[in-house]
């Protein structure tokens, strides 16, 4: 048993908020340019979070602070497990548990907007969960291991075996990054539709924790995208950048859909792209033997 896995986890815990904040800054800048605006400074997300820690702590239901902290811890834990090369299934379940805590936090407050946001977050969870698990299964079928350490060091070009799974994963990535057309629970761009959805009742440092958790989450998800291209690090990094740029582009050119359409899209890509891809792959594997 070596201690090298610990280095990945510690580096993730320290560097991911910095990387995540920078990615958010670049995201806002590119979005502004796509809309013909100058846009905020690159470090704006850090100013926002710093500001939130300076604000007064206004909490109606103190339980929500506990849930949001649990959300942050479990997101950071699942990301740390990922970068430590841990078991993909455990990571996916820790990741889901984190979002359950966020939903519980939103339900703890007595606000109809917060409740609608929480319900929509549950719907999103239902929409993307099958595809994430199929992605983990697909990576296992190709590399014969659920461990990220093995998948990341494989010499097999996974993307060639799992193009459908990858496209499905990129689709649900739009849900996970809280981007249009699936930005239904936080109402991030449609500010006044359900006030602020799931984050309506979180303010000050609690909201800052949600934001930091989102940075951790984004870095973890981009790491997941990298796994599909892990056989060649250069192609991998380019693929991650292109994927994120495509997400920003889609965010800017699409209108938001209703929750029914979000749920259907999540399941249709899981069924049509994910399961079909895995079925063909398993047929080819058994057929060859």
Partner 1 sequence: MAFLKRSPWILHYDASSCNGCDIEVLACLTPLYDVERFGIINTGNPKHADVFLITGGINEQNREVVKNIYEQMPEPKVVVAIGVCAASGGIFRECYNIVGGVDKVIPVDVYVPGCAARPEMIIDGVVTALGILEEKREKMAGAAQTKESARRAAGEST
- Residues between 197 and 226 that touch partner 1 (CB under 8 A): 199-204, 207
Q: Put residue 64 in one of left, alpha, beta given phi > 0 → left and psi -120 to 50 → alpha.
A: alpha
Distances (CA, A) of 61 to 54, 57, 108: 20, 12, 7
User: Which is nearer to partner 1, 196 or 256 (by Cβ)?
Assistant: 196
Give whichever of 80 and 210 is closer to partner 1, judged by the CB atom: 210
Position 178 contacts partner 1 (CB under 8 A): no
How far apart are CB 48 and partner 1 at their closest, in Å?
5
User: Considering only residues 38-67, where is the footprint of partner 1 by CB under 8 A?
Assistant: 38-41, 44, 47-48, 50-51, 53-58
Interface stretch with partner 1, choices 142-150, 178-186, 193-201, 255-263 (CB under 8 A): 193-201
Using CB under 8 A as the binding rule, whether residue 186 contacts partner 1 is answered as: no
Closer residue to partner 1 (CB): 21 or 266? 21
Q: Which stretch binds partner 1 (CB under 8 A): 12-20, 35-43, 150-158, 273-281?
A: 35-43
Q: 32-42 burial string, b = 16+ CB within 10 Å, else e?
A: eeeeeeeeeee
To which residue do tokens 């805590």 refer?
101
Alpha helices, DSSP H, located in the chain: 4-34, 44-54, 63-83, 88-108, 112-143, 148-152, 158-161, 163-176, 204-227, 233-253, 259-268, 276-288
154: left (phi over 0), alpha (psi -120 to 50) or beta: beta
Taking CB under 8 A as the binding criterion, the range among 1-9, 187-195, 254-262, 272-280 that sits at the site for partner 1 is 187-195
- Cα separation, 23 vs 216, whole angstroms: 11
Give 220's contacts (C-beta < 8 A, 6+ positions apart). Answer: 16, 75, 78, 79, 82, 83, 95
Strand, coil or helix: what is 41?
coil
The distance of closest approach from Cβ of residue 195 to partner 1 in the complex, given in angstroms and rounded to an integer, is 5
109 vs 123, which CB is nearer to partner 1?
Answer: 109
Minimum distance of partner 1 from residue 17's CB (angstroms): 15
* Three-state secondary-structure class, residue 270: helix
Minimum distance of partner 1 from residue 192's CB (angstroms): 3
Per-residue DSSP letter, 275: I
**How many residues lie near partner 1 (CB under 8 A)?**
31
**Which listed range, 29-37, 71-79, 98-106, 218-226, lies at the site for partner 1 (CB under 8 A)?**
29-37
Q: Which residues bind partner 1 (CB under 8 A)?
A: 28, 32, 35-41, 44, 47-48, 50-51, 53-58, 191-192, 195-196, 199-204, 207
């Amino acid at each position: 048993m070596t201690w090298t896995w610990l280095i990945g986890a510690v580096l993730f815990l320290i560097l991911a908020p910095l990387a995540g904040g920078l990615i958010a800054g670049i995201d806002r800048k590119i979005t502004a340019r796509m809309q013909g605006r100058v846009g905020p400074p690159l470090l704006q997300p850090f100013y926002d979070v710093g500001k939130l820690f300076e604000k007064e702590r206004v909490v109606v239901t103190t339980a929500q602070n506990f849930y949001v902290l649990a959300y942050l811890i479990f997101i950071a834990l699942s990301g740390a497990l990922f970068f430590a090369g841990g078991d993909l299934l455990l990571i996916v379940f820790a990741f889901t548990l984190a979002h359950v805590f966020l939903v519980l936090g939103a339900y703890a407050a007595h606000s109809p907007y917060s409740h609608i946001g929480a319900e929509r977050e549950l719907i999103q969870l239902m929409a993307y969960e099958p595809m994430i698990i199929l992605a983990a299964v697909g990576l296992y079928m190709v590399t014969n291991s659920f461990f990220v350490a093995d998948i990341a060091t494989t010499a097999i070009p996974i993307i060639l075996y799992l193009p459908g799974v990858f496209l499905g994963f990129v689709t649900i990535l739009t849900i996970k990054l809280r981007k249009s057309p699936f930005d239904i629970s936080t109402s991030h761009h449609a500010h006044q539709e359900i006030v602020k959805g799931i984050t309506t009742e979180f303010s000050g440092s609690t909201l800052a924790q949600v934001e930091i958790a989102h940075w951790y989450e984004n870095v973890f998800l981009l790491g997941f995208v990298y796994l599909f291209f892990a056989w060649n690090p250069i192609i991998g990094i380019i693929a991650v950048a292109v994927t994120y740029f495509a997400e920003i582009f889609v965010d800017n050119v699409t209108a938001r859909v209703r929750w029914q359409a979000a749920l259907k899209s999540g399941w249709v890509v899981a069924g049509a792209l994910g399961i079909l891809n895995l079925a063909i792959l398993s047929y080819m594997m058994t057929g060859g033997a």
